[in-house]
């Protein structure tokens, strides 16, 4: 009987199930099954259905598995998905970088000034003045005008426009213009003038930004010059958010106009500036994860330092237990779940209640039986697979009744084994069955 490939084939099972084997063959087959628990279990399963149903089901399963094969290139899909995820994260990150207004504004101001300086250059070249003083005056005028333009630009989400002209591009452009204006081919002189003008430019820029900075003690944003140009019922609230426990800034703190979607986020130094429409109506809410929220009423041109306190509420700690063996050979811990399961005793499949009902239904005495009712107490032993390995008669019940009890239990539902500390184990349990006469 044993095949060269060391396992029993479907055909042999079919022959056995269809009673096509001789008794000797049957014995040999059954003895073989004693050696192979997998096949033994499988046979118990097969005996639940008819042999034809079995062959139909197995053929169906074979075709289902073959169909599955081409689709299941698991690893490739995982790789593709990860790749896509990385790409989209990268794109998102770049988008957010561009959109983030606060830290960039000092730079943008410089860039604006350079753009400004370009127009200055063109002015110079057009008018052919070439004198420092004049150009300074003109530059200042231009800067003021430019500031106006700038505030209008700021009323909407601004930074995109400003960032686009690149520094390097502009600088290279300015040089030829200068040379043109001088009308000299003397490159030394031209470059000297260029240097001078550039220095002037820098001074101008510094001057303007100092001016801007001077207006508010702490804010990093030089937008105070723009206050005058904003509509009169709008105010700008500026400030810094810090943690009260250590006086450190809280970057990423949320500052919102209460009840609206108008809000901003504190920069890496904790600084923020929030424009609001009506100073009297809405309060300003400052919040940060893990800290108690603060509210205040803003007044125009106010610069506030907001200190937040750690919140008393804490989230419940959750412990994730991972089972890792201390065997040296093991390369990775095998965990199929992250939650420990409750121990449970051996139970009949379908539940104890259903089992009790089944027992009641079966434990019926004959009409002509000597007593009205008989109680049987048994001890059932289970192995770690939930199979019944023994049934003991504990209360010396009558042999016939005990025999019936054993049959009832064996004919009943299968049992799941006792589960303790994450393992199926052997167990035993007592059971009481009361035989009664039918009403």
Residues 53-72 that bind another protein (CB under 8 A): 53, 57-58, 60-62, 64-66, 68-70, 72
Footprint of another protein on 212-241 (CB under 8 A)? none
Nearest Cα residue to 6 out of 24, 32, 40:
32
Show contacts with another protein in window 131-150 (CB under 8 A). Answer: none
- Beta-sheet pairing, 364-365 with 427-437: parallel
Task: Give whichever of 31 and 206 is closer to another protein, judged by the CB atom.
Answer: 31
CA distances 174 to 121, 171, 439, Å, are: 7, 5, 112
Taking the least distance from each CB to another protein, the nearer of 63 and 370 is: 63
- DSSP, res 224: G
Nearest partner of 218 among 269, 284, 287, judged by Cα: 269
CB of 234 or CB of 408, closer to another protein = 408
- Which of 424, 426, 428, 429 is the binder for another protein (CB under 8 A)? 424
Range in contact with another protein (rule: CB under 8 A) among 113-121, 227-235, 280-288, 381-389: 381-389
* Contacts to another protein from residues 309-368, by CB under 8 A: 323, 325, 327, 329-342, 344, 347, 349, 351
Strands (E), 283-399: 284-287, 294-296, 303-308, 347-348, 364-365, 373-382, 388-393
Cα dist. 258→7, 157, 172, 234, 286 in Å? Answer: 74, 21, 48, 15, 9
Helices (DSSP H) in 128-268: which residue ranges? 132-155, 159-163, 167-182, 187-215
Q: Does residue 240 contact residue 266 with C-beta atoms inside 8 Å?
A: yes
- The count of residues interacting with another protein (CB under 8 A) is 72
Burial of 316 (0-12, 13-18, 19+ CB in 10 A): exposed
Distance of closest approach, residue 427 Cβ to another protein, in angstroms: 15
398-417 footprint of another protein as x/- string (CB under 8 A): ---------x--x---x-x-
Determine if 10 is a binding residue for another protein (CB under 8 A).
yes
CB of 377 to another protein, least distance (A): 20
Near another protein in 73-102, by CB under 8 A:
73-75
Q: Which residues contact 437 (CB under 8 A, 6 or more apart)?
A: 364, 365, 366, 367, 369, 372, 373
* Closer CB to another protein, 10 or 360, in the complex: 10
Residue of 137, 155, 163, 423 interacting with another protein (CB under 8 A): 423
386 and 424 in contact (C-beta within 8 Å)?
A: yes
| Tally of CB atoms within 10 A around 394 | 14
Q: Which residue among 2, 18, 20, 37 contacts another protein (CB under 8 A)?
A: 37
User: Does residue 379 touch another protein according to CB under 8 A?
Assistant: no
- Please answer whether residues 227 and 301 qualify as being in contact, where contact means their C-beta atoms are separated by less than 8 angstroms: yes
Given 18, 41, 152, 392, the residue binding another protein (CB under 8 A): 41
Interacting residues with another protein between 245 and 284 (CB under 8 A): none
Residue in 3, 24, 316, 320 binding another protein, rule: CB under 8 A: 24
Return the range that interacts with another protein (CB under 8 A); candidates 18-26, 144-152, 160-168, 361-369.
Answer: 18-26
């Amino acid at each position: 009987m044993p095949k060269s490939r060391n396992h029993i084939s479907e055909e042999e099972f079919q022959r056995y199930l269809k009673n096509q084997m001789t008794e000797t063959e049957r014995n040999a087959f059954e003895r073989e099954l004693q050696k192979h628990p997998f096949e033994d279990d499988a046979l118990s399963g097969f005996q639940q259905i008819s042999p034809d149903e079995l062959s139909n089901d197995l053929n169906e399963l074979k075709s289902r598995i073959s169909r599955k094969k081409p689709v299941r290139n698991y690893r490739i899909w995982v790789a593709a998905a990860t790749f896509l995820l990385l790409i989209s994260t990268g794109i998102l990150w770049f988008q957010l970088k561009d959109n983030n207004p606060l830290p960039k504004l000092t730079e943008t101001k410089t860039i604006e000034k350079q753009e400004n300086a370009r127009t200055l250059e063109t002015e110079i070249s057009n008018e052919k003045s070439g004198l420092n003083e004049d150009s300074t005056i003109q530059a200042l005028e231009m800067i003021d005008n430019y500031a106006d333009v700038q505030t209008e630009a700021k009323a909407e989400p601004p930074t995109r426009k400003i960032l686009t002209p690149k520094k390097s591009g502009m600088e290279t452009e300015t040089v030829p213009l200068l040379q043109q204006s001088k009308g000299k081919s003397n490159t030394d002189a031209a470059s000297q003038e260029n240097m001078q003008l550039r220095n002037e430019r820098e001074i101008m820029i510094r001057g303007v930004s100092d001016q801007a900075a001077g207006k508010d003690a702490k804010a990093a944003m030089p937008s105070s010059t723009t206050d005058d140009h904003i509509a009169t019922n709008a105010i700008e609230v500026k400030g810094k958010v810090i943690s009260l426990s250590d006086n450190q800034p809280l970057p990423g703190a949320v500052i919102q106009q209460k009840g609206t979607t108008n809000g901003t986020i504190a920069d890496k130094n904790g600084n923020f500036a929030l424009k609001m429409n009506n100073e009297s109506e809405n309060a300003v809410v400052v919040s940060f994860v893990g800290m108690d929220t603060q509210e205040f009423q803003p007044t125009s041109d106010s610069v506030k330092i907001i200190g937040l306190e750690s919140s008393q509420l804490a989230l419940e700690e959750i412990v994730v237990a991972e089972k890792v063996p201390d065997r040296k050979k093991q390369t990775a811990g095998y965990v199929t779940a992250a939650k420990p399961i409750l121990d449970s005793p051996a139970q009949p499949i379908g539940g104890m209640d259903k089992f009790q009902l089944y027992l009641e239904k079966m434990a019926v005495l004959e009409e002509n039986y000597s007593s009205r009712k008989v109680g049987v107490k048994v001890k059932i032993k289970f192995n770690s697979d939930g199979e019944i390995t023994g049934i003991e008669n504990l209360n010396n019940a009558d042999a016939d009744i005990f025999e019936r009890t054993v049959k009832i239990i064996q004919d009943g539902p299968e049992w799941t084994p006792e589960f303790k500390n994450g393992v199926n184990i052997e167990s035993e349990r007592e059971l009481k069955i009361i035989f009664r006469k039918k009403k």
